[in-house]
Structure 1
Amino acid sequence: MRIRRVVTTRAGGSSRPPYESFNLGAGVGDDPAAVAANRNRLADELGLGRDRLVWMEQVHGRNAEIVDGPRPTAVEATDALVTTEPGLALVALCADCVPVLLADPAAGVVGAAHAGRVGARIGVLLATLRAMTEAGAALDRIEVLLGPSVCGACYEVPVAMQTDVERHLPGSACRTRGGTPGLDLRAGLWRQLADAGVAKIGVDPRCTVEDPTLFSHRREGTTGRLAAVTWLERSDAA
């Protein structure tokens, strides 16, 4: 089974400042018509039906839901999706949080998760792995991409918050570029996945704060959202 993964940038869309221009987030104050046009363009560019993208009402939680077909609206109160349905694309939206794309090609199972500080701390990725194994995946076959997010050098937090997150997500504590307490969520998630038995873990090194081609809430405040998308390619696809 062929796995497809795509991470968008902010270029090429219909949104006006401060969301310019390929904002895919529907809940950030952007013109709904522009967001709809951007989402339609995403589906068209990926060669998927416009109803084949499944979105989440991301709430910084740890609910992971298995979906088996299109949804007319975003899946409520969910920060991770899993499917075995070919041609059904799962979407995680982020603007500093870590988008995570997972797959077991042999079993034909894919997952997408939104892992911000709160979600990572309370185990959204562990919930995603459980949902994937429930759907037939095996931990030692799962492949993971940790997408672009704020890096540890840019993510300054109070020392109490750093200590709390490190206790729940070991490996995430770091020092920022300025020598202050920081969090490297991708490092903590990498360790959590490895400890869970996942052997194939890739990391997109881009920092959303440092890279102007990506959306960053920490850099800009009001801004759009990039999308990390994964799906199983249909066997009859070209």
Structure 2
Amino acid sequence: MTPVIPVLEVDLGPGIRAFFTTRHGGRSGAPWDSLNLGLGVGDDAGTVRANRALVDQVAGGQVTFGTQVHGTDVVTVTARGLGAPPPEADALVAAAPGVPVGVYVADCVPVLLADPRARVVAVAHAGRPGVEHGVVPAVLEAVLAAGARLGDLRAVVGPAVCGECYEVPAELQERVAARVPAARSQTSWGTAALDLPRAVEVQLEAAGVRRVQRVHRCTRTDDTFFSHRRSSAAGTPAGRFAGVVTLV
């Protein structure tokens, strides 16, 4: 069956549906063009909800998102929807079939997790504060508490701004690298940078996750995806794309 919108499918094992949306296939006009999933970025709210409904169709049910605040809190989802407004959480865990969970991103790192044997899935939104303060270890702890086993756990590190494009002040680089050395990087033009996708990859591997896939696509340079940095440079608001995972 052809998806109602173009998505980047990833393999997290049998019985798992996992994908990343792109900026294409939706109803938003310029400058979002066109599958913007983010409210609060200037787009029409009705249009954004229509775009989210298209993602729900691909996921096979209403996708649950938390209110992301660049923190480390994790919420376990047992049924579709978390209420209005949803709780502040940058990671979600689900162990019930037909309960898709997702994260919104536009340069931060979307992380999808699944144990196809134990039937547990999870997502995490790993921006710079989340990487620095441990959202990945927090979601792993929650996934294991829900019944997943490290030996069966699989992870995908999704499209995000790469280490050659994420310029930061030198003092910020030093602070983050002091906690997460793998985050240290340098831009392609020779200044201090952070490599958040690589840092997340290393955090997963260090925790014992054996199967880690990396989507090597930089959101700043690949306009298939929304990018806060690229849009800011152009003086336009950035939309949001999503990473989604569900038990089917």
TM range (shorter): over 0.9
Check conservation: 2:67, 2:86, Cα contact below 8 A: yes
Q: 1:42 aligns with which of 47, 55, 60?
A: 55
- Distance in 2 (alpha carbons) for counterparts of 1:73 and 1:168: 35
Q: 1:55 touches 1:74 (CA, 8 Å); kept in 2?
A: no
- Deviations along 1:102-127, one digit per CA (max 9) or x if unpaired, are 01111100000100001111100111
Q: Which runs of 5+ in 2 are unaligned?
A: 1-13
- Compute the displacement of 1:41 (Å): 1.2
Q: Name the counterpart of 1:229.
A: 244
Q: For 1:1-238, what aligned pairs fall within 5 Å after superposition?
A: 2-46=15-59, 48-49=60-61, 52-71=62-81, 72-73=83-84, 75-221=86-232, 222-233=237-248
In 2, Cα distance between equivalents of 1:73 and 1:120: 27
Query: Which residue identity does 2:68 align to in structure 1?
Result: Q
Q: CA deviation at 1:76?
A: 1.5
**Cα distance in structure 1, aligned partners of 2:37 and 2:91:** 17
Structure 1: gaps spanning 5 or more residues: 234-238
- Measure, in 1, the Cα distance between the counterparts of 2:105 and 2:84: 18
Whole-angstrom distance in 1 between the partners of 2:96 and 2:133: 28
Amino acid at match of 1:100: V
Q: Partners of 1:75 and 1:129 in 2: how far apart?
A: 21
Contact kept in structure 2, 1:59 and 1:78, CA below 8 Å? yes
| Change over 3 Å in CA distance of 1:109–1:74 after alignment to 2 | farther
Deviation at 1:73, TM superposition (A): 3.4
Q: How far off is 1:189 after superposition?
A: 1.1
Contact preservation (8 Å) 1:9, 1:214? yes
Per-residue deviation, 1:129: 0.5
Q: Is the 8 A contact 1:22 1:38 kept in 2?
A: yes
Contact 2:154/2:211, CA 8 A, preserved across alignment: yes
Q: CA deviation at 1:194?
A: 1.0
The equivalent of 1:236 in structure 2 is: none
TM-score (norm 1): 0.94
Q: Residues of 2 paired with 1:171 and 1:80: CA distance?
A: 22
Q: Go from structure 1 to structure 2 and tell me whether the alpha carbon gap of 1:74 and 1:184 turns closer, same or farther (over 3 Å shift).
A: farther
- Secondary structure of 2:181's counterpart equals coil
Q: CA deviation at 1:74?
A: 5.2
Measure, in 2, the Cα distance between the counterparts of 1:74 and 1:132: 24
Aligned counterparts of 1:225 and 1:175: Cα–Cα separation in 2: 26
Find the aligned partners of 2:181 and 2:199 in 1 and give their Cα distance.
Answer: 6
Equivalenced residues, count: 230
Q: Secondary structure at the match of 1:92?
A: strand
